[in-house]
Structure 1
Amino acid sequence: MSETTVTTQQQATRTGRWPVVAWGLWDWGSAAFNAVITTFVFSVYITSDSFGDGASAKLGWALAGAGVLIALFAPITGRRADHSGRRTFWLSVNTALVVLASTGLFFVKPSPDYLWLGLLLLAAGNIFFEFASVQYNAMLNEISTPANVGRISGLGWGLGYIGGIVLLLIVFYGFIDPEVGLFGVTGEDGLDVRVTMLLCAVWTTVFSLPVILTIRDDKASRRPRTEVVSVVESYRQLFQTIRLLWQTDRNTAYFLLASAVFRDGLAGVFTFGGVLAAGTFGFSPGDVIIFAVAANVVAGVATIAFGTLDDRWGPKKVIVGSLSCMLVAGTVIFFLHDRGATIFWVFGLLLCIFVGPAQSASRTFLARLIPEGKEGEIFGLYATTGRAVSFLAPAAWSGFIVMGAAVTGVADKDSAEHWGILGIMLVLALGLGFLTKVRATENPASSLSS
């Protein structure tokens, strides 16, 4: 199927409500891996004292390694799926691999002997989750029109936040908080966390099935295997797109670079927020989950509220203002880390307030830069550039912990964990610096040639 051809199946999909809901439910289901596993439960568990000294830094290196692999392979997965006409198939495969990785985390017992098993499974889950996200995001054009693409995209984003809140509450009250939870589960041998991993696997499976069963691959659009583009050719086409963009619309290229960097910093805030709360500020696993619920609530509400400011002031001012406020809040957390949990509650939630608006305004900014008719191509590159630098925040987090331990002279790297904040702030500051070079224009003078 060519880019300018819309099949009858696609037309029916675009006009139905259920396909939109089914698509959004994948985002709801993805909260199991994003919110529970990567951010607020398993990452906190794997960096606890039970896994030995330096677990937090090792987590950063594992995620950095995953980011490198994502950067090498994710850019071509969407292009190859589009070319082969098997987008839903690859969404299914990669989602299934995420489920398998989540299930495997059940076997990670609280002992240093299981540290690298947990880190490798978590890294693998991150890789396959990003591959699945490429296919999922590419489906947006199949279930939307130019008139409602923003609302549908926002629906998915919102369902992700809400799904995270619901699942975290189930986990907290069902397994983490009670001395004896559902099915007689206790905290002995980490069983409460490990059973939560099984629940995450089930959650992901159940809420991924609707989109997989609803938005089917169009057999008529599939190309023969002999026409499938090779890996080398896929990379050649990718570099050709980047070169063309640099030659014809450099302002958009600058923004893609800036947004890739600061979006990775934004992801780092949530990825390592729970680890920091537990390791530096003494939050219990239950406290971390309560903070996670509050963080998702303020992030969701702020993202909706800041949409008005985006329209009134323009997205660049929203991004600059959000990143600047986050840098101030992060600096305060670093210097006042020994003042107790209240500091993290106040300034940690302040950080979360500005994460969603910065992400949303980033997408809006690009939408106003894209020449007409190039939306799909440039938004695909937007996803690509973000994944290409997804190792920055984890590497900066771990690198600054190592540096902090050397500067302070502590033998226990976990005692220098708060230095990781500076690594995340550095990534945000770099992105903000690159953003100052971008013109805030809604009608770029240049456009891409075909």
Structure 2
Amino acid sequence: MSTDTVRARATDEVAERRREQHGWYFYDWACSVYSTSVLTVFLGPYLTSVAKHAADADGFVHPLGIPIRAGSFFAYSVSASVILSIFVMPMAGAAGDRTGRKKPLLAASAYLGAAATTGMFFLDGDRYLLGGLLLVVANASVAVSMVLYNSYLPQIAPPEERDAVSSRGWAFGYAAGSLVLIGNLVLFTAHDSFGVSESTAVRICLASAGIWWGAFTLVPLKRLRDRRTAPGGGRAPAHGWRQLAATVRDMRGKPLTLSFLLAYLVYNDGIQTVISQASVYGSEELGLSQSTLIVAVLLVQVLAVGGALGMGRLARTYGAKRTILGSLVAWTVTLAAGYFLPAGAPVWFFVLAAGIGLVLGGSQALSRSLFSHLVPSGKEAEYFSAYEMSDRGMSWLGPLLFGLTYQLTGSYRDAIISLVAFFVIGFALLARVPVRQAIRDAGNPVPDRI
């Protein structure tokens, strides 16, 4: 084979890899709008108001006959959704690896979630149970889809590119969130000019996130390639807990990978709870308007784009692990400051939002890329199902603690300060993980800077 032929083939491989990477970015672009507009901005305050409308004289709703303070219903629904994810994600990950057909599974989970999100248009009056059900379906669906989406990363990016590729994916997601939030802000603040009520405007914003999610999912479905890298072809995947147990047994041979997952489980639980509960804290405890919350989250999205890319560059100099540890210090300081925010002072809430935005995207992107180095070849989706458990499927403790704290104390300030522990403990656990040895144990090449 001539040198020109080898060079041409290498050029074609690089072009194909770039094409897949660009398609891969677009799933972040598609589904991040759900996390931003639905989970972070609108659904928490709106579902809480619907639950309060359905509450009895003492402020309690009674799903399945269980007395729940209306202000805790959203947090409990988030916990229920991620508990459900535990049963579904391992099956999806194992099926993706064994059959090599990740795209059909990605499509099914993405469009189920998009349909549930679009259905939130019908959440009005006292239909808090409908809202809780749609939230559970949408949140579990996005978790399953992210298992499959994340598992492509080791396949479409060589080790030296993963920090950058992962960071660009998160940046795409935050850019999409910013764009849609601008449209949401225009509709919400000028809803009278559009001839709709405030409630209808919120429901349109919720439903539009589902339409956006479904429409842009077409791009990665067209560009990503299915690969079968694991033996065992058509075997049916085990059921939820059994498959998770099998994955964990396999990981026992790689205890350092498990150590990283434990650290990530802890600190990411704090991150996910802040994302899902920040708007409830701002509206219920600080008395901020919905427009203020939209602007604050928009600020988070804009700064998160630069934060993800900037922390990706820092990782090239200082390594992903050190950069993540630095972000956890920033999270701790920012969240502790949130406890002391005065009510009715949007400027200070914007300062808090800026601090969150600068570390949010980078801490998530670098955690994803760092874990990709710890995954044995051929088990990407299966291992990323365990990772997604830590990312979403096991992030039920934070919302549960948040909801219980409010249930017992009636104070969202007490609820928010309890989350500091997740970042402190997560920092201590991650600092103990020797990542170079963990990469070698997984059978992967160790990058020069990690």
Question: How would you bin the TM-score normalised by the shorter chain?
Answer: 0.7 to 0.9
1:319 match:
324
Q: 1:160 aligns with which of 173, 181, 202?
A: 173
Encode CA deviations 1:223-253: one digit per residue, 9 max, x unaligned.
88xx322424x86564344234334x43332
1:34 positional shift: 0.9
1:326 positional shift: 2.1
Letter in 2 for 1:255: F
1:277 positional shift: 1.6
> 1:388-427 to 2 correspondence within 5 Å?
388-405=393-410, 416-427=411-422
1:197 match:
206
Q: 1:306 aligns with which of 288, 304, 311?
A: 311
Residues 22/351 of structure 1: CA separation in 2 closer, same or farther (3 Å cut): closer
2:38 match:
37
1:434 positional shift: 2.6
1:371 positional shift: 7.8
1:185 positional shift: 4.0
2:197 match:
187
Letter in 1 for 2:137: A
Letter in 1 for 2:196: T
Letter in 2 for 1:100: A
* TM-score, normalization by structure 1: 0.82
> 1:44-443 to 2 correspondence within 5 Å?
44-48=45-49, 50=53, 52=55, 53=59, 54-109=69-124, 111=125, 113-173=126-186, 175-181=187-193, 184-188=194-198, 190-215=199-224, 217=226, 227-232=234-239, 238-247=244-253, 249-338=254-343, 340-366=345-371, 370=374, 376=380, 379=384, 381-405=386-410, 416-436=411-431, 438-443=432-437
Letter in 2 for 1:154: S
1:385 positional shift: 3.7
Letter in 2 for 1:269: V
Check the 8 A contact 2:287/2:343 in 1, yes or no: no
1:408 match:
none
Q: Which moved more, 1:39-48 or 1:148-157?
A: 148-157
1:254 positional shift: 1.4
Q: Which moved more, 1:214-223 or 1:317-326?
A: 214-223
1:150 positional shift: 3.6
Q: Which moved more, 1:84-93 or 1:324-333?
A: 324-333
Check the 8 A contact 1:371/1:447 in 2, yes or no: no
State the SS of the aligned residue for 2:426.
Answer: helix
1:70 positional shift: 0.9
CA distance in 2, matches of 1:446, 1:198: 46
1:297 positional shift: 1.6
Letter in 2 for 1:23: W
Check the 8 A contact 1:40/1:274 in 2, yes or no: yes
Letter in 2 for 1:295: V
Encode CA deviations 1:319-346: one digit per residue, 9 max, x unaligned.
3332233223222222344473333222
State the SS of the aligned residue for 2:165.
Answer: helix
2:64 match:
none
CA distance in 1, matches of 2:439, 2:184: 51
Letter in 2 for 1:297: V
Encode CA deviations 1:153-186: one digit per residue, 9 max, x unaligned.
332211101000000001111x1011435xx342
1:45 positional shift: 1.7
Matched, 1:447 2:441: yes
State the SS of the aligned residue for 2:152.
Answer: helix
CA distance in 1, matches of 2:118, 2:358: 32
1:413 match:
none
State the SS of the aligned residue for 1:231.
Answer: coil
Percent identity among equivalent residues? 23
1:291 positional shift: 0.7
CA distance in 1, matches of 2:34, 2:91: 23
> 1:16-31 to 2 correspondence within 5 Å?
17-31=18-32
1:85 positional shift: 3.1
1:5 match:
none
Check the 8 A contact 1:14/1:145 in 2, yes or no: no
Check the 8 A contact 2:269/2:391 in 1, yes or no: yes
* TM-score, normalization by structure 2: 0.82
CA distance in 1, matches of 2:129, 2:441: 48
CA distance in 2, matches of 1:40, 1:445: 38
Residues 337/120 of structure 1: CA separation in 2 closer, same or farther (3 Å cut): farther
Check the 8 A contact 2:97/2:378 in 1, yes or no: no
CA distance in 2, matches of 1:267, 1:163: 19
Q: Which runs of 5+ in 1 are unaligned?
A: 1-7, 406-415
CA distance in 1, matches of 2:122, 2:241: 38
Check the 8 A contact 1:262/1:430 in 2, yes or no: yes
Letter in 2 for 1:103: T
Q: Which runs of 5+ in 2 are unaligned?
A: 1-8, 60-68, 445-450
Residues 103/119 of structure 1: CA separation in 2 closer, same or farther (3 Å cut): same
Residues 310/149 of structure 1: CA separation in 2 closer, same or farther (3 Å cut): closer
Aligned residues: 419
CA distance in 1, matches of 2:171, 2:184: 20
1:447 positional shift: 2.0
CA distance in 2, matches of 1:15, 1:51: 54
1:115 positional shift: 1.4
Check the 8 A contact 1:164/1:296 in 2, yes or no: yes
Residues 302/403 of structure 1: CA separation in 2 closer, same or farther (3 Å cut): same
1:28 positional shift: 0.8
Residues 160/185 of structure 1: CA separation in 2 closer, same or farther (3 Å cut): farther
Residues 92/301 of structure 1: CA separation in 2 closer, same or farther (3 Å cut): same
Q: Which moved more, 1:72-81 or 1:371-380?
A: 371-380
1:290 positional shift: 0.9
Check the 8 A contact 1:245/1:448 in 2, yes or no: no
